[in-house]
Structure 1
Amino acid sequence: MKKSASFKLINTALWVAQSLLAICLAWSSYMKLSQPVERLSSMWSWTAEVSPLLITFTAIVDLCAALGLTLPSLLHIQPRLTLISAVGLILLMICASVFHILRGETAEIGPNIIFAMIAVFIIWGRSGKDRY
């Protein structure tokens, strides 16, 4: 069956969304795992005020999300794991937003909202019988 131009366009947009999220999350994970807290705190002030274990935990969660958003669909192995990763990312972004709001850092939640919206797009596009 020949795929329509709109199918190809949406599929490409989904891959771009998945790839951009994965790159951002992988970069965040790398930074949290490889940089000293002093350097991290210049980018993310919260890192200076929490346990190093929380920083490591969030790095591992970010890395799992990055891999989960791309590998299952890319390798055609359990592609529903991409959906599960996207749902997990939405939950993570909600938790991160609440964390920042409780700290009085409401200006910091913009990326969390954008990441969650992109994850919703991925869920929409990769779920259902007519998924892209």
Structure 2
Amino acid sequence: MNIALWIVASALALAFLAAGLMKISQPQEKLAASGLAWAEDFNSGAIKAIGAAEVLGALGLILPAVTGIATFLVPVAAAGLAVVMVGAIITHIKRGEKQAVVINAVLGALALFVAVGRFGPVPF
């Protein structure tokens, strides 16, 4: 179970790091033009905040575990990313973007798996 949690946490960290850095580094108009149409519904500051939450969550999934410092932050980060995905699901449902809902639901479920696993049966 520990290996599965490491694999899922690592994959999530890579996905959220890439997504978050993209939201932080690109202007709102470019994000919307590149296929993230939901960006039109948010102001630039909100998009940057979402990106920052994703980057911090990605770092929180890995760094505490690797360093052995404040390892309780791993499940906290995973739970936070699951909450971010709930917000994404709500946004995509309102916009009628079914494919994005599925992707966000899978990411949210994986984050929840890490949170439950690290809070419960396989803590550090």
Give TM-score, length-normalised by structure 2.
0.87
The two structures, once aligned, show a CA RMSD in angstroms of: 1.8
CA shift, 1:95, in A, is 1.3
Partner of 1:124: 116
How has the CA–CA distance of structure 1 residues 65 and 11 changed in structure 2, closer, same or farther, with 3 Å as cutoff?
same
1:108 and 2:100 aligned: yes
Matches of 1:105 and 1:130, distance apart in 2: 35
1:54-90, CA deviations, whole angstroms, 9 ceiling, x for partnerless residues?
Answer: 1111111111110111111111111111111111111
**Ranges in structure 2 where 5+ consecutive residues have no aligned partner:** none
| Structure 1 runs, 4 residues or longer, greater than 4 Å off | none
Judge conservation of contact 2:27–2:44 (CA < 8 Å) in 1: no
Select 2:52's aligned residue among 55, 60, 66: 60
Give TM-score, length-normalised by structure 1.
0.82
Judge conservation of contact 2:75–2:119 (CA < 8 Å) in 1: yes
How many residue pairs align between the two structures? 123
Partner of 2:25: 34
Larger Rg: 1
Q: Helix, strand or coil: the match of 2:120?
A: coil
1:10-34, CA deviations, whole angstroms, 9 ceiling, x for partnerless residues?
Answer: 2222111111111111111111122
CA shift, 1:130, in A, is 4.9
How has the CA–CA distance of structure 1 residues 14 and 130 changed in structure 2, closer, same or farther, with 3 Å as cutoff?
closer
CA shift, 1:40, in A, is 1.3
Aligned ranges 1:10-29 → 2 under 5 Å: 10-29=1-20
Judge conservation of contact 2:75–2:116 (CA < 8 Å) in 1: no
